[in-house]
Amino acid sequence: EQRRDTDELAQGETRVQTDGEDGLRHDTYEVTRVDGEVTERELVAEEIVREPIDQVVLVGVAPSPVREVQQLLTDLGYPAGPVDGIDGAQTRRALCAWRQLEGRSVSRQPLRPGELEALRATTGLPAADAGRGVTVDRTCQVVYYRQDGAWQFVHAASTGADGLPRPGSYQIQRTRQGWHTSTLYPAPSPNMYNTLYFHGAIAIHGSNDVPPRPASAGCVRVTPQAADQLFADLRIGDPVRVIGSY
């Protein structure tokens, strides 16, 4: 059985053999999207179309490369989300970050011609400036960590919905370990973890809510796991560079 799905997963063709005859099963799905990303699909119609095998191979769409792209990005260390073949915002975030570090034209757009081949040829995260520091990429919604002349980690991030932090060069000014509640934006439960302040009250901090778009009140959210790494490795005075725009 060979499955061929459209990019949107709204329809698909599956090669089948029933009662000794080759044909196609045409499936139609009802697709649910959240913030433009496909999150769920339900089969609503199914039809078997009898056709000779030499005609079957001409029907449908080409297999999508999205699953391979997601796996390649994940293996390289980019936050591509689940390897599920769905070209959503998490995949675009990782693809954008790969473009940034590889010196390509940066955007959150789908895979471009020639990029799959370039991804296959990429062997790891590229070289970086000497020293230790982080770069907050507002375009791609990631945080890059560099040390020892190489990019070591690429973390999923969510910057401020109001356009903060502004592009520029900063440095870690103070830190606060563990979970706590923002004094400016209090919440029923602690909402900041392993906080690294770099411009007044603006900080990089762990959060349990890191969507692939700007959503914070001005800080840079990362996952708790990413906050653990950054808090352990960064020191007061280390540089923080903010680039790009969403």
Q: Quick check: 26 pLDDT over 70?
A: no
The answer to whether residues 165 and 233 belong to one domain is yes
Within a domain: residue 128? Answer: no
The answer to whether residues 232 and 153 belong to one domain is yes
CB 241 within 8 A of CB 135: yes
The answer to whether residues 147 and 239 belong to one domain is yes
Within a domain: residue 154? Answer: yes
At 123 the pLDDT is 96
Q: How many CB atoms lie within 10 A of CB 176?
A: 15
Q: Quick check: 5 pLDDT over 50?
A: no
The answer to whether residues 72 and 15 belong to one domain is no
At 187 the pLDDT is 85
Within a domain: residue 127? Answer: no
Q: Quick check: 38 pLDDT over 90?
A: no
Q: pTM of this prediction? A: 0.75
More confident residue, 9 or 40: 40
The CATH number of whichever domain residue 164 belongs to comes to 2.40.440.10
CB 134 within 8 A of CB 234: yes
For residue 49, name the pLDDT band (cuts at 50, 70, 90).
Answer: low
Q: Looking at residues 19-28, what average pLDDT do you find?
A: 62
For residue 79, name the pLDDT band (cuts at 50, 70, 90).
Answer: very high
At 12 the pLDDT is 64
Within a domain: residue 61? Answer: no
The answer to whether residues 71 and 51 belong to one domain is no
Region of poorest pLDDT, from 19-33, 71-85, 129-143, 192-206: 19-33
Q: Looking at residues 85-108, what average pLDDT do you find?
A: 97
106-109-110-116 Cα dihedral, nearest 10 degrees: -10
Quick one: residue 112, left, alpha or beta (phi over 0 = left, psi -120 to 50 = alpha)?
beta
The answer to whether residues 218 and 236 belong to one domain is yes
Q: Let me know how many helices (H) and strands (E) the chain has, helices first.
A: 5, 13
Region of poorest pLDDT, from 40-54, 96-110, 130-144: 40-54
- CA 25, distance to chain mean position in Å, is 33
Nearest to 76, CA basis, from 149, 125, 137: 125
Region of poorest pLDDT, from 58-62, 97-101, 164-168: 58-62
Q: Encode pLDDT of 196-220 as tens digits.
A: 999 999 999 999 999 999 999 999 9
At 191 the pLDDT is 93
At 186 the pLDDT is 84
Structural domain boundaries enclosing 13: 3-56
Q: Quick check: 81 pLDDT over 90?
A: yes
How high does pLDDT run on average in the chain? Answer: 87
Q: What are phi and psi of 119, to 5 degrees?
A: -65, -45
At 55 the pLDDT is 41
